[in-house]
Amino acid sequence: MRLILLGPPGAGKGTQAEKLSAYLGVPRVSTGDILRHNVAENTDLGKKAKSFMDSGKLVPDDLVIAMTERRLKEPDAKKGFILDGFPRTIAQAEALSKLTKIDSVVSLFLEPEELIKRNTGRRVCPKDDTVYHIFMNPPKRPGLCDKCGTSLIIRADDKEEVVRKRIETYEKQTAPLIKYYRDRGMLREVYASGLIEEIFQRTIEALKA
Ligand code: AP5
């Protein structure tokens, strides 16, 4: 299965991609996580990407396309993958179509105010990228990752003003991909409000349809 998850910031792409990865037995490829690790390690890519990410803008296409191509050529992605956060522009979608065939695109959608609440309450594990929410999806021990015990952090771009900018960026640059994939008969739309497990079941049903 080669799957794309589309959706605005906080729609739950990362949360659902984790569950789908376990269910389908293919890796989750999150361009946001790869970029954040590059920023944390201060690589050349991380240095170039940081200011775009911190201000809620997209990292330039050429950098993200090259990075994703490298990742999809790794052995574990041969059997399939779940793309979380890529493509985000028509140029990225075109580059991806030259690289590989995609089976399905799931578009998660949710009201803007709910997106703000989800992003501003998010906590993440900097080691294994597990995502939590202080109220709606809390860790078992406050402030610590359930899987590895690492102290959870707040993402630099989860300040409310940056979240609003990220939603605006999504509407302008990424939302046109909904029509792009609908026109190609690849789109499945899933309402992303409700319990995490309910949305997962909706997604599975949408993929079977
Ligand atoms: P990225 O990391 O991809 O961020 P994003 O798209 O803004 O998405 P998020 O990670 O914020 O949200 P999500 O939909 O994954 O939701 P999550 O599951 O975490 O990108 C970050 C930045 O990197 C971009 O702004 C850009 O600068 C750059 N970048 C990345 N890819 C790029 C590309 N292709 N091109 C150019 N630049 C790129 O859930 C959110 C919260 O809600 C969590 O706290 C979670 O626990 C909670 N939650 C989830 N589901 C539910 C539920 N059902 N009920 C209650 N709470 C829930």
Over the stretch 44-69, which tens digit does the pLDDT of each residue have? 999 999 999 999 999 999 999 999 99
Helix (H) or strand (E) holding 115: helix 112-120
What digits encode the pLDDT tens for the residues 88-141? Answer: 999 999 999 999 999 999 999 999 999 999 999 999 999 999 999 999 999 999
| 17-48 confidence digits (pLDDT tens) | 999 999 999 999 999 999 999 999 999 999 99
**DSSP 3-state percent helix, strand, coil across the chain (nearest 5):** 50, 15, 35
Q: What is the longest distance spanned by two Cα atoms in the chain? A: 46
Q: Name which residue sits closest to atom 34 of ligand 1, judged by CA.
A: 86
Confidence label for 11 from pLDDT (cuts 50, 70 and 90): very high
* CB crowding 172-197: b at 16 or more within 10 Å, else e: ebbbebbebbeeeeebbbbebeeeee
Q: What are phi and psi of 23, to 5 degrees?
A: -70, -40
Q: What distance in angstroms lies between residue 3's CA and the mean position of ligand 1's atoms?
A: 16
Tell me the average pLDDT of the chain: 96
Confidence label for 16 from pLDDT (cuts 50, 70 and 90):
very high
Per-residue pLDDT at 91 = 98
Per-residue confidence band for 209, with pLDDT thresholds at 50, 70 and 90: confident
What per-residue confidence (pLDDT) applies to 143?
Answer: 96
Q: Which protein residue's CA is at the shortest distance from atom 30 of ligand 1?
A: 32
> Is 64 exposed, middle or buried, given 0-12, 13-18 or 19+ CB atoms closer than 10 A?
buried
As a whole-number percent, the residues of the chain with pLDDT over 70 amount to 100
Q: Which CATH architecture has domain 2-116+160-208?
A: 3-Layer(aba) Sandwich (3.40)
Domain residue spans of the chain: 2-116+160-208
Amino acid residing at 30: S
Q: Give the per-residue pLDDT at 84.
A: 97
Matching residue, tokens 């979608």: 93
Q: Which residues are catalytic?
A: 13, 88, 122, 155, 166
State the pTM of this model: 0.95
Three-state DSSP string of 146-186: CCCCCECECCHHHCHHHHHHHHHHHHHHHCHHHHHHHHCCC
